[in-house]
Amino acid sequence: MLLNRLQRHLENIYEVQSGYRVADFLIDDPALARRLDSTPNARDLPEKLLIRQDGESLDLALYLDPDLLRRLDDNDPTESLHGENLHDFWMALEGISHFLYLTWNASHERSVSLLEMELQAEVDKYILAAFLFGRQLRGLVPKALYPQLFHAARFDERLNAAERYRYRSANYFAGRFCSYIEKEFLQPGARSGLVNTLRRFYRLTQQRKIKAIRHL
């Protein structure tokens, strides 16, 4: 399944294993997603990781809109990523990124914040898009990729102040990190060490991620 393939791409890049396959936690029924979502004033979204924690027990489900899944099945980004499926790819990948990051950290008995998950997801969206474009375009990464993800970001008007701050902060810090990645590793004749840099970053806590980004 496409979702599992995307998860495996992330796992290979970061050299991590969650022990779970995202497709096993997938739901595509919006009514069921609403019933499972205990968030106050929950927004209807085409992608949402549903989390419920009771003591040491953690229940998860990833909701993806059925039309989104259908479009990705018809226009597989792992075969050809382009302008018509890039947004759908990013939307699905965000949920997969959240799922992998949460389950991997949980397996190491590490708690994560919502900001930390959003920051890593923005990085994952840029990195995996760059990886797929590079593979499909003989090593070339479109120059428009970075500004399209970070400069053209639009935030849901229904977000409250805390949510808006979290999403803007994630976009800002991930943008700074990915700008560094682009300049240092994705230019012609760039130095080696990209994978090791990404793997070290993935394992940092939120506080250490932000500290590292501020010093770039």
Q: How far is CA 79 from the centre of its chain?
A: 19
Q: For residue 197, what are its two tokens? A: 């840099």
For the chain, domain boundaries: 2-19+67-214
- What pLDDT sits at residue 195? 96
Predicted local confidence at residue 108, as pLDDT: 93
Lowest mean pLDDT among 34-48, 156-170, 177-191: 34-48
Q: Is the pLDDT of residue 10 over 90?
A: yes
Q: What is the DSSP string of 96-139?
A: HHHHHHHHHHHHTT----HHHHHHHHHHHHHHHHHHHHHHHTTT
Task: For residue 25, name the pLDDT band (cuts at 50, 70, 90).
Answer: very high
Q: Quick one: average pLDDT of 100-115? A: 95
Average pLDDT over residues 123-127: 98
Predicted local distance difference test score (pLDDT) of residue 38: 77
Mean pLDDT score across all residues of the chain:
94
The residue with greater pLDDT, 191 or 5, is 5
Pairing relationship of beta strands 26-27 and 57-64 according to DSSP bridges: parallel
In this structure, what token pair is assigned to residue 178? 């990915």
Q: What is the pLDDT of residue 138?
A: 87
Q: What is the reported pLDDT for 55?
A: 77
Residue 86 is predicted with a pLDDT of: 97
CB 191 within 8 A of CB 178: no
Per-residue pLDDT reduced to its tens digit, 65-77: 999 999 999 999 9
pLDDT of residue 210: 97
What pLDDT, on the 0 to 100 scale, is given for residue 84? 96
Cα 48 to Cα 108: distance, rounded to the nearest angstrom = 23
Q: What is the mean pLDDT of residues 120-146?
A: 95
Residue 43: pLDDT band with limits 50, 70, 90:
confident
